[in-house]
Structure 1
Amino acid sequence: MNGYRTAFFDVDGTLTTAPSMFRFLRHYLSAVGHPPTEYISRRRELKAMNEVGCPREATNRAYFASLEGADAGEVTALAEDWFREELRAGGFFHEHGVAALRRHQQDGTRIVFVSGSFPAVLDPIAEHLGADEVWCTEPEIAWSRYTGNLHRPPMLSAAKAETVRAVAAAHGTTPEHCIAYGDHISDLPMLRTTGTAVVVGGDKVLRTHARIHGWSLLPAAPVPPALDLPLWHTGRTGSLAAVTNEVKEVESV
């Protein structure tokens, strides 16, 4: 692992066992008073977009459009609550990805997250793992509320590769002296930009590229444990057992 100036990490599925954006969305919707069916409905809409071939950038934009009007301070506070619950429950972090990150930190390598998620969700993760920088999708906030729009294109695909080049240049190095980790096809441009790449999990396209280019492989993240969600509008906590199967169905995007 010695010799890398910067290690670029995707987050969801690479360092975590679960998609942070959706785990948080369930927590957020429940906390502000929505029934479990609201999350299921929103997740099904995004899944349907994926199934008809919409690019991931489009589903990412749709996710943030659904946050239109949300109070930014409340989102940040609830994201911190959500992350504390993930830590309490355990099993949120992918041990192989985190072990690689820790080795790079021991070598003095700069750790940079490059993720399609957003600051409210990523900041607690970055602080916990000790990341040096976070580059991600940036929702537009006006008058302390999410507008439903983005400041710039989502941090996916080509945007990840552009970020690698920009960060490397800013720190006086080149992508060839860096390493990248990713688990999804949208990470491929980033993986192809750095001098060394590591594929996490079983994505067939990424594994084909790994064989061709001699990239390393790490195991896929295990299935995360279920979380008890805050039902603050009823003053109690529930496991939502009655909708477990529906949630599992919509999570399979």
Structure 2
Amino acid sequence: MTFDSSPSRPRLALFDLDHTLLPLDSDYEWGEFTTRIGWTDPQAFSRRNAAFYADYQAGTLDIHDYVRFATEAVRRQGPQAAAAAHARFMQEVIAPAIRPQALALLRQHQQAGDRVIIITATNEFVTRPIAQALGVDEILATELERGPDGWLTGNILGEPNMREGKVRRMAQWLAAQQWGWDDVHSTFYSDSSNDIPLLEQVNEPVATNPDARLRALAQQRGWRTLDLFGGDDA
């Protein structure tokens, strides 16, 4: 695969994270990990975590409720324990899930001179270290509010980076660079029908490991479809 490196407009390569660059959902897996290390009640947490994940897949997730739930254990444990646990999570869960196909795609865009940005609904605590592990410096994630003590409150800071919110957050990022959508050439890779608003906004939408609804829409609209992992769903 090769990319046009024409200097006419800055080129942006935008990537969703979960089930796009990773063959898993990092938010869901972080929740399951906190249960395995004894931070939450196994049955109660797993039941609620699975229900929230089903809501996300159905496009009905209340992200404010979910973030309060998902950060409860982290907030209770405090910054030092949370950082140590996340480092272990990266080693045990994320590192084994990083696939050469995903790294190769990222590097192709980077080597072509594209500005690569991960744009994910998953919160910044979970995802910033993952972006770093993938070699991506810029990430737009759901930001978390911090209280006077500098630690997480359980609330979202600003607009959730989800569905139409991804379009607005990306527009804010562009404005900070003194660009509009017409000033750049944008490509967006995503697996999720939740990301249809941003896929419709960019110049090159790429349905990547798409869910059933997105796969059907991509076929209908002639969008490129990329099955990045093939049969690799580990």
CA RMSD of aligned residues (A): 2.5
Alignment deviations for residues 51-73 of structure 1 (CA, whole Å, 9 cap, x no partner): 9x6723x0x32222122343244
Counterpart of 2:128?
123
In structure 2, stretches of 5+ residues that fail to align are: none
Match of 2:18 among 2, 12, 21: 12
Cα distance, 1:212 vs structure 2:
4.0
Task: Say if 2:163 and 2:195, in contact at 8 Å, map to a contact too.
Answer: yes
* Distance in structure 2 (CA, Å) of the matches to 1:73 and 1:187: 34
| 1:61 matches 2:64 | yes
Matches within 5 A, 1:16-27: 16-27=22-33
| 1:132 matches 2:137 | yes
| 1:223 matches 2:223 | no
- Amino acid aligned to 2:108: R
Matches within 5 A, 1:1-253: 1-3=3-5, 5-47=11-53, 49=55, 55-56=60-61, 58=62, 60-66=63-69, 67-68=71-72, 69-70=75-76, 71-86=78-93, 90=96, 92-142=97-147, 143-175=149-181, 177-219=185-227, 221=229, 222-224=232-234
* Distance in structure 2 (CA, Å) of the matches to 1:212 and 1:172: 34
* Distance in structure 2 (CA, Å) of the matches to 1:134 and 1:46: 23
Cα distance, 1:94 vs structure 2:
4.7
Label 1:47 to 1:159 Cα distance change in 2 as closer, same or farther (>3 A).
closer
Cα distance, 1:192 vs structure 2:
1.1
* Distance in structure 2 (CA, Å) of the matches to 1:39 and 1:223: 24
Label 1:165 to 1:209 Cα distance change in 2 as closer, same or farther (>3 A).
farther
Specify the SS of the correspondent of 1:82. helix
- Amino acid aligned to 1:63: Y
Aligned residues: 219
Task: Say if 1:8 and 1:114, in contact at 8 Å, map to a contact too.
Answer: yes
Task: Say if 2:186 and 2:202, in contact at 8 Å, map to a contact too.
Answer: yes
Specify the SS of the correspondent of 1:15. coil
> Which stretch shifts more, 63-72 or 135-144?
63-72
Among the aligned pairs, what percent are the same residue?
25
> Which stretch shifts more, 210-219 or 128-137?
210-219
* Distance in structure 1 (CA, Å) of the matches to 2:152 and 2:100: 33
In structure 1, stretches of 5+ residues that fail to align are: 225-253
* Distance in structure 2 (CA, Å) of the matches to 1:101 and 1:79: 23
Label 1:49 to 1:123 Cα distance change in 2 as closer, same or farther (>3 A).
closer
Label 1:48 to 1:14 Cα distance change in 2 as closer, same or farther (>3 A).
closer
* Distance in structure 1 (CA, Å) of the matches to 2:180 and 2:68: 36
